[in-house]
Amino acid sequence: MITAIVLITVERRALASAGERLAAIDGVSEVYSVTGEFDLIAMVRAKQHEDLADIVTRKIAQVDGVQRTMTHVAFKVFSKYDLERIFA
């Protein structure tokens, strides 16, 4: 399982609706509204790198109001939860 953190900048007019639309995308497990340089952070989980590329470039980036994304692929997780089991 590949986990990626996608930082998202959204047009002001789309802030109220973009989070829900992003959360509805298959492969997006959570979307957080945050402070700082970016407006939203999406946690994405995919089986293969090709799937991740499709989720980010063809689904997230195409949501109305999304201006920019920055994707960070996770190498290792440190958690008290068995995330592989939860997202399998």
pTM for this prediction: 0.87
- Per-residue pLDDT of the chain (88 residues), as tens digits, is 899 999 999 999 998 899 999 999 999 999 999 999 999 999 999 999 999 999 999 999 999 999 999 999 999 878 766 656 666 6
Q: Domains plus CATH for the chain? A: 2-78 (3.30.70.920)
| Pairing mode, strands 2-10 and 40-46 | antiparallel
Would you call 72 helix, strand, or coil by DSSP? Answer: strand
Question: Buried b / exposed e across 9-33, counting CB within 10 Å, b at 16+?
Answer: ebeeebeeebbebbeebebbeebee
Distance CA 51, CA 45 (A): 9
